[in-house]
Amino acid sequence: MKKLLADKISLLKGDITKVKCDAIVNAANSSLLGGGGVDGAIHRQAGPELLEDCRRVRNAQGGCPTGKAVITVAGKLPAKYVIHTVGPVWRGGASGEESLLRDCYLNSLSLASENGLETVAFPNISTGIYGYPKDKACAVAVSAVNEFLASDTIVKEVVFVCFDDENFRLYQDFIGN
Ligand code: AR6
């Protein structure tokens, strides 16, 4: 793992379900009841306790709107919590996608900070099934996280976990390493 940007941002190639940190972020859908991609992997590895806690949140607030975030237990995962956020579906770029994707990163980190969580790992939200162009998503993700870390005093480290080669290369290039 390489330390980047003011020692607070790291890049990792691999599976986010294996990452041991205070919170991993899930690229969920607004039902919060699981799905494919990273969401499916997280639910599979975490086991029923995660789904049960997602149902509790869903019953309390009726799911999670795009751009917002909620926090649950992490079941059998090595992480302590899962923060679920819902990325935008790419519809060509003129439907508020950039601002919604930015909100995913900012709202997830705010929730981490409010809960006293110091280390947070993100997948590349919206860049799979939701079709957001990977280069554009990378720029939004890095800029949102940088902006947040510049003013927050709780979150100490953010890890971008890239599962596919294309995302990993883009993050390496974008961050300059
Ligand atoms: N660890 C880290 N990243 C992963 C993993 C993993 N184990 N598996 C896939 N990725 P996606 P989205 C990467 O499709 O585009 C679900 O059905 C993958 O390479 O998981 O936000 C939800 O329920 C890609 O770069 O999420 C929603 O319905 C990134 O995760 C919908 O998909 C995001 O791809 C959300 O779509």
Half-sphere exposure of 115 (CA within 13 A, CB side): 20
Proportion of the chain above pLDDT 90, given as a percent: 94
Ligand 1, pocket-test mutation among 38, 85, 101, most atoms within 8 A of CB: 38
Distances (CA, A) of 2 to 22, 33, 45, 124, 126: 19, 34, 26, 17, 24
Condensed to tens digits (0 to 9), the pLDDT of residues 133-161 reads: 999 999 999 999 999 999 999 999 999 99
Q: Is the ipTM of this complex over 0.90?
A: yes
Condensed to tens digits (0 to 9), the pLDDT of residues 93-119 reads: 999 999 999 999 999 999 999 999 999
Instruction: Compute the CA torsion angle 35, 146, 131, 45 (nearest 10 deg).
Output: -20
Instruction: Give the active site residue among 7, 15, 22, 39.
Output: 39
Condensed to tens digits (0 to 9), the pLDDT of residues 48-76 reads: 999 999 999 999 999 999 999 999 999 99
| Centre of ligand 1 from the C-alpha of residue 147, in Å | 24
| Centre of ligand 1 from the C-alpha of residue 153, in Å | 29
For the CA of 134, the closest atom of ligand 1 is 25
| Centre of ligand 1 from the C-alpha of residue 71, in Å | 18
Q: Is 63 in the pocket of ligand 1 (CB under 6 A)?
A: no
Q: Is 52 in the pocket of ligand 1 (CB under 6 A)?
A: no
Contact (CB, 8 A) for 163 and 123: yes
What lies within 8 Å, CB to CB, of 72 at 6+ separation is 50, 53, 54, 56, 57, 81, 82, 84
Instruction: Specify whether 39 is catalytic.
Output: yes
What pLDDT, on the 0 to 100 scale, is given for residue 5?
A: 56
The CA R_g of the chain, rounded to the nearest whole Å, is 15
Domains, in order of start, for the chain: 2-175 (3.40.220.10)
Q: What is the mean pLDDT of residues 2-16?
A: 80
What DSSP state is assigned to residue 87?
Answer: P
Angle between helix axes 48-61 and 37-46 (nearest 10 degrees) is 120
